[in-house]
Structure formats: structure tokens, C-alpha cells
Structure 1
Amino acid sequence: MSNVAGFCSDQFEAVRAAFTEQVESGAELGASVCVTVDGETVVDLWGGYADPEKTKPWEADTLVNTFSITKTMVALSALLLVEAGELDVHQKVAHYWPEFAANGKADIEVRHLLSHTSGVSGWEAPIELRDIYDTDAASDRLAAQEPWWVPGTASGYHALNYGHLTGTVIKRITGRSLGRFFAEELARPLDADFHIGTPAADLGRIATLVPPEFLEFDQSQLPQDSVLYKTLFQPLLDFAECGTPEWQQAELGGMGGHGNARSIARVQSVISNGGELGGRKFLSDKTIDLIFDQQCDGFDLAILQPVRFGIGYGLPQPQIGPQVPDGKVCWWNGLGGAHVVNDLDHRVTFAYAMNRMAPGLIGSDRADAYMKATFDVVRGRA
């Protein structure tokens, strides 16, 4: 009997086949895949197990840490304020957050935060992972720092602090924390089970992460003044810590969001469906078009990979990276392989979330298999 449940329209049977193969072969431990077209769900599948001991089935409402998929939720939150006329992505960050102007950051614009080009991709040492749970105090530290490169000239992936930076701007404008703003303006109106700061009552639904096996290396051999080292090792992400209630409840907009494929697709369908969903107009075409205003295209200083960022999202890079289609498409992924793709040409959103993490910083073979099956259908190649 298949360990895959949910719904799949006949047109997308290839997605079910690809997902079922990965779950039943054991390549997946537990996972979910969702596809929407014109804001309506055409694929909503889940299967496998929520724990490595295989004692808890992955259920329809299982949640998992989606890591950097959370950044797309932060970006969309910021775009809501742009739509409302309360935020200008070309305005100086210090206009909204005056303390941020310290130490040579007066000219950094909001778009630089949203596109990883601000020069402030992490914290100066010493700092421990738990120090960033207090988002106000951790953001104050960022405001006091100097940028690590000339803002706007290159990207340096804001791996852990993306939500601290943009979230503080949102809080200065609205008086609400990032997690509260996202919940009140997006998650609840859309009935989407995604959380930036998971309520205590929902912690029992969170799947256990199975980290990948990374190659052992000597950190001391890395230049400790490099953007890579300071971004990814100050502090170092600890996967065991990611399973604690403290992590799960913290409002970590860079990498701490918890949801599943259904909730990711539901929220992000606001983009692929032209800004309108559930009978409500969230964004105009003008605001959505900001996403495609390219901010950088080149070698990222923090993750040492070629990346292409618009405002708040990655943009397609033909022949590079995961199976993201070309066109008017915006996307991003989460550490371990979670993915979201918004294809505006075809009004499609694809989402995937899992607990068995793949190695590498961007993408996975499993994510590629599901994306290929999806977009082969969407683009008439099936």
C-alpha cells in the first residue's frame, strides 16, 4: 500500500509518480509537494514519516522547518507595505530605522536588504546562535556594525539575519513584530499554516529534521575575515538546536519559518496569481514587477556560488543550479532542498518541503525531480 496521501489532478499525474517513487524508495523520509494554478490547488501530496524512527506518519498538517523559504515570506510581507505606500524599496533604511545609519550605512537602501547586497550579511563576533533569538537585541548589533563590502556592488547571502534586517524595518513602520505582521496580514487571511515563530500549541506537529552528512573540514583553514566565514560561522547553524522549542518559537525570518508545501504554495500564490487571492487584492502589477528588478547577477561573497537576485527573490539562471524554469519566474529554496517557484507566465506556484535534508546549499535531486515533472506539464513537454 502506498505511503503517499493527498490529491493530484489527472493532468499532474507525473508529479504524483515522481513523489511516490522518492517516498517509497526511502530517498524521502517525509515530505510534501503542492502545486497551484490560477490560485487553485492541483497537487497536494504528502507521505513518509515525520521522525527518523518511522513511528510518526507525515500527516496532512505536519510542519517542518523550511529554512530560507522563510525569506520569501519576509519579502512578501515587505511588498505588502510597498503596496500600502508605507515602504519605498529605494528609500534609505535609516529613514525607517535611524540607528542603522551608524558606521557607514547611511546610504544603504531597503532594496539592498531584500536582495542580499547590503554589505551586512551577518554579525560581528563574538555571537552565539541563541543570541539571535532576541531579535531586537540582535538587530541592534547589526545597526551598530560597519558593512563588510561596498553596499550594492555584490551579493553576500544574508543567511541568518535576513529577517532581522527587513523585520526591523517592518516593525519600525507598523509597530508589529515580523512574525505577528506576517500572521495577521498573510497567514491568517489566507488560512495558511505557516509560522514565523511557531505557537507552543503547534510544536508537536513539527517533523524531526535529518541533517545531511557534510564533508569534514578544518574551520581554522578558512580566512576568518572573509565574508563567507563571518556570514556562515558567526554564529554557526546547529541542527540539533533547530529541533528545540526555543528555536521553533523564535521569530527568525531568515531561516526559522515552519510550514509545509500546502502553506508555502498558498501564501506564495499571491505572486503567481497576479496579486489577488481568496477574493482579496494583495498586490498590484506594479508592486509585483519590483521583484524582477535585477539587483545582482554574479558570484555571491558568502556562499561562493553564482546567484541572481531581484528584490526579495532569486531569478532564473539558465543552465545553473536547480530545475527552475526560465521566464517571468521568481524562486528560492531552503537549506536541505525545500523549494518554492512562482511562474507568473503560467500562473503556477510549486512548493516542496521535507525533513530529510540533502547536502549542498541550493537544491536537491528530489526537488529537481518534482519541479521537472511539474513544469514539463505546465510548459507542454509532458
Structure 2
Amino acid sequence: MGLLRYGLILCFVLVTYYYSRRIFEEKRPLVLDGYYHPDFKQLADVFRQNLQTGKEQGGSFAAYHNGKCVFNMWGGYADDEAVRPWDKNTLTMAFSASKGIAAITAAKMVDLGYLDYKRPVVDYWPEFGQKDKENITVEMLLSHQAGLPLLDENLHLRDIIDNPDKVERVLAAQGTVWPAGSEFGYHGVTYGLYVDTLVRKADPQGRDVARVFREEIAEPFELDAFINTPKEEFYRAARLNTQPLWEMLLETLLSPRYFPILGHYILFPDSLLVNVAKAVVEFTMDMSVFNNPDLREVPLTSATVTSTANGLGKLYGILANGGATKGKILLHAEQVQKLATPLVQGTDSVIKQEGSIFGPGTGMVKNPKGQLMYGHTGHGGQVGMADPTNKLGFMYLTNHISIYGLGDDPRYLDLENTLYKCLDNFVKNNNKYT
């Protein structure tokens, strides 16, 4: 009882300090700009309110309906220290929401005839077959069924550019932690290492994943998005802001679904969940390490996709509207449907979350209407989704990193709930675009 009482007192002190600090913080001029369709004014008001209260300190949100932009706004500060406002060209990291872009890039490779979901990975990458991995299919690898969520020999992020032979050797030599296909578990960091290598091996020109995405998707469809942050684009990058430890603990205490994750880090430091992040050393550090342009230029579809919200919102909008726009096909209907089709669901063997659903690289969640969407969520609050039922695609990005990584960041939920209310009004008004 004594521990519970002291715990409650600690929570009260932390909450009081957290909110009182916001009250007395120096107020900077409100930064808010962009476009919204008149029927989405309530969404703009919510975005403004979050900025005014300090709930949102820097971010952007974009939504497309029937392939047309209905909302694209940004606000707050891209760099607090330099007092640099967020603008329409500001880029930031998607973290694990990057995996949705990996899934779309792999689907494009399938559409081009370079990959087949049902074929074994060894058909494209023979060395991968070591340690009984010869029966792992492309589909298993993409949907977190391969049993490869960690590495026995950990890597540094720059190895992907500076020492690719080492990366290939380590990946190929890795054994599985469960028989492939027998269960599924989130490959938080290794996902991009394996998928990106597979894309390069399967591509007839040997292009890396960043180039495939740029040449086959981003440039043809005019998307302001990259698998990495090219050095020449880094001047546009938002500076990542991470929370002090006490704020992270407070948010965790207020979010019960994160208790098991926190518990593993405290009580089981050698558990599978904790060791997953160690596959690439930089992911065990404070995420502000990714303000280093030498790291940000590394392409890794586990986490390093960088974009404006409009860039990825437009991408998901095209997919939600069938996969084509202005007479150009991004993906044929068969591949779009595949991205939206669950392959595994249940309790994730790594992060222990019930109700997890994965397609071929896509993560799936329900919208406020209870309908299934696909895309991916990411660390810090990032979310990108295609909602084919409502022909709606959207992206939320922020550079102020929270603990939330499952599409449950309060800032995002405010926007998502209001988006669907506005959509109902928009549809009632006969979809009149401006």
C-alpha cells in the first residue's frame, strides 16, 4: 500500500509540473499555414487549438479524398533552438511509418514483375538460405513472419552505405528465433535491412531501395518524399525533439497499453523485445542522434523515410482511390488490394500487443467508423494510412517525439476523429471540391 501511495504522489507531482510548466513557458508567435476545403474548417480549428495550447509544437497533416487534396496544413516550429517555423517544405522522419513505404515499394516491384510474394527469398538472394531460411517467402518476410527480428552481430547505421558487404553477410548468416511462418512478431529494425536488400537483389538494375522509390514512385507522381534524407535536402529537415525521461515515464503511466513494453525494459533487459532495437546500435540511443545528416542520408525503410505530410498523404490518397491518378498507374488494382489484405493477426510475439494485423508490410488499424485502414504507424506519433472504404488517404508527421507509436498519440487522435466528422459533412455536401 505504501508503494502505491508514493506512486500516486509521484504521478500527481509529475502531472502538476508538466502542465504548470506549459502555462509559464515563453509563448512564441503562432505559426499556422496551409490549405483546407471549407468543409474541413473544424479540422483546421482543432489543429490550431493544439498549437495554441502547446499540445502540438511542430507538425503537419494532409488528407486526400477521391485523389484530391482536402487538407494540407502545417504549424509550429521545425527547429525550436533556431526559432525556425515549420513551412510547406519542411521534411521530417516517419520512423516506423516508413515500413508502409517499404510495403508500397515492394508492391511496385511485384507490379513490375521483379518480385513475387509467393516465391522464396533465396530465388533472388541465394546466400539468404543459410540456417534453414531457404523456405522463407517474400510474403513471410514482409509480414513479420520470418522469425528474424534481431541480429547476433549488431550493426551501425552507416554500415548500410559504408560496408554493405558486411550487412549482407550478417543478415544472411542470421538464424531464426521461431520457425518461419509459425508465428509473427514485429521486426522493428531488421525489417528494413532485409527488405531493402531483397529489393536491390531483385531489381534488374541493382538499384537500392531509395532509388527504386524515387524513380518508380516519388518522381512520376510528384511526391515530396524520400526513403532517406539526401544531404542536399537536409536544410529542409525539422530538428527532432525528444522528451526528457520523466515526461516519457509520465506518458507511459497515463497509457496502460505501454505498460508491458516498459515492464520488459525494466524487468527483462535480455528479452526479445528489448534486444530488437539493438540490431542497429543507433536505435538504442536518444532519437535526437538522427539530427546528424550523416545518419539521415542512410536509406533504411525500418525508420528513415522523410517527407512532408503532403508527400505521403498524397501517396496514400492515390492508393485509397484505386492506385491511379491523372491517367498514370502507381499500382494496379491487384497489388492495391493485396496491400489492404490481412495476412496475420492476433498477439504479436515481439511487442506482445493483442489485435495486431499485418498485410504484406502494411500495418492495419480501424478508423473511427470501425473500418479497416492500411499503412503504418511510427514512433513519436507518426501515422500514414489509406482508407479504401472512404477513399481517404492521410499523413500526420511531427518532430516533437512522444512515446506513442501505435497510432494512439493524442495529437493525432484529435485530428483523426475530427477528419472523419468533417468527411461526413463533406460527403453530405456532394463532394464539391474547390
Task: State the TM-score, normalized to the length of structure 2.
Answer: 0.81
Q: CA deviation at 1:367?
A: 0.7
Q: CA deviation at 1:186?
A: 0.8
**Are residues 1:62 and 2:108 paired?**
no
* 1:121 maps to amino acid: P
Q: CA deviation at 1:223?
A: 5.2
Alignment counterpart, residue 146 of structure 1, candidates 175, 179, 203? 175
What does residue 310 of structure 1 align with? Answer: 359
Matches within 5 A, 1:176-325: 176-212=207-243, 213=245, 214-215=248-249, 221-222=267-268, 224=270, 226-236=271-281, 237=283, 238=285, 239-306=287-354, 307-316=356-365, 325=369
- Secondary structure at the counterpart of residue 44 of structure 1: strand
Q: CA distance change for structure 1 residues 55 and 179 in 2, over 3 Å: closer, same or farther?
A: same
Task: State the TM-score, normalized to the length of structure 1.
Answer: 0.92
Which runs of 5 or more residues in structure 2 are unaligned? 1-28, 250-261, 429-434
**Are residues 1:330 and 2:406 paired?**
no
* 2:375 maps to amino acid: W
Q: Answer yes or no: is the 8 Å Cα contact 2:154–2:278 preserved in 1.
A: no
- Residues in 2 aligned to 1:223 and 1:46: alpha-carbon distance in whole angstroms: 39
Bigger CA radius of gyration:
2
What does residue 168 of structure 1 align with? Answer: 197
- Secondary structure at the counterpart of residue 50 of structure 1: strand
How big is each residue's C-alpha offset from its partner over 1:66-85, in whole Å with a ceiling of 9 and x where there is no partner? Answer: 11121111111111121122
Q: Answer yes or no: is the 8 Å Cα contact 2:75–2:86 preserved in 1.
A: yes
* 1:140 maps to amino acid: R
Q: Answer yes or no: is the 8 Å Cα contact 2:189–2:279 preserved in 1.
A: no
Larger helix percent: 2
* 2:337 maps to amino acid: D
- Residues in 2 aligned to 1:360 and 1:139: alpha-carbon distance in whole angstroms: 32
Matches within 5 A, 1:80-91: 80-91=108-119
What does residue 114 of structure 1 align with? Answer: 142
What does residue 188 of structure 2 align with? Answer: 159
Q: CA deviation at 1:218?
A: 9.1
Q: CA distance change for structure 1 residues 273 and 246 in 2, over 3 Å: closer, same or farther?
A: same
How big is each residue's C-alpha offset from its partner over 1:230-257, in whole Å with a ceiling of 9 and x where there is no partner? Answer: 2123345121321111211001111011
- Percent of aligned pairs with the same amino acid: 28
Q: CA deviation at 1:126?
A: 4.2
Matches within 5 A, 1:348-367: 348-363=392-407, 364-367=409-412
- Residues in 2 aligned to 1:153 and 1:143: alpha-carbon distance in whole angstroms: 20
Q: CA distance change for structure 1 residues 191 and 135 in 2, over 3 Å: closer, same or farther?
A: farther
* 2:208 maps to amino acid: S
Alignment counterpart, residue 420 of structure 2, candidates 352, 375, 382? 375
- Residues in 2 aligned to 1:190 and 1:335: alpha-carbon distance in whole angstroms: 27
How big is each residue's C-alpha offset from its partner over 1:69-111, in whole Å with a ceiling of 9 and x where there is no partner? Answer: 2111111111112112221111111111111111011111111
- Residues in 1 aligned to 2:165 and 2:52: alpha-carbon distance in whole angstroms: 44
What does residue 320 of structure 1 align with? Answer: none
Matches within 5 A, 1:74-113: 74-113=102-141
- Residues in 1 aligned to 2:299 and 2:368: alpha-carbon distance in whole angstroms: 29
- Residues in 2 aligned to 1:65 and 1:135: alpha-carbon distance in whole angstroms: 23
Q: CA deviation at 1:45?
A: 0.1
Q: CA deviation at 1:285?
A: 1.7
Q: Answer yes or no: is the 8 Å Cα contact 2:184–2:344 preserved in 1.
A: yes
Q: Answer yes or no: is the 8 Å Cα contact 1:156–1:227 preserved in 2.
A: no
- Secondary structure at the counterpart of residue 268 of structure 1: helix
Q: CA distance change for structure 1 residues 165 and 223 in 2, over 3 Å: closer, same or farther?
A: same
- Secondary structure at the counterpart of residue 197 of structure 1: coil
Q: Answer yes or no: is the 8 Å Cα contact 2:240–2:291 preserved in 1.
A: yes
Q: Answer yes or no: is the 8 Å Cα contact 2:60–2:396 preserved in 1.
A: yes
Q: CA deviation at 1:295?
A: 1.9
Please, what is the CA RMSD of the aligned residues? 2.2
Q: Answer yes or no: is the 8 Å Cα contact 1:265–1:349 preserved in 2.
A: yes
Q: CA deviation at 1:353?
A: 0.4
- Residues in 1 aligned to 2:188 and 2:168: alpha-carbon distance in whole angstroms: 14
How big is each residue's C-alpha offset from its partner over 1:328-375, in whole Å with a ceiling of 9 and x where there is no partner? Answer: 521311100011121111211011101111213323001111111112
Q: CA distance change for structure 1 residues 330 and 219 in 2, over 3 Å: closer, same or farther?
A: closer
Q: CA deviation at 1:156?
A: 1.6
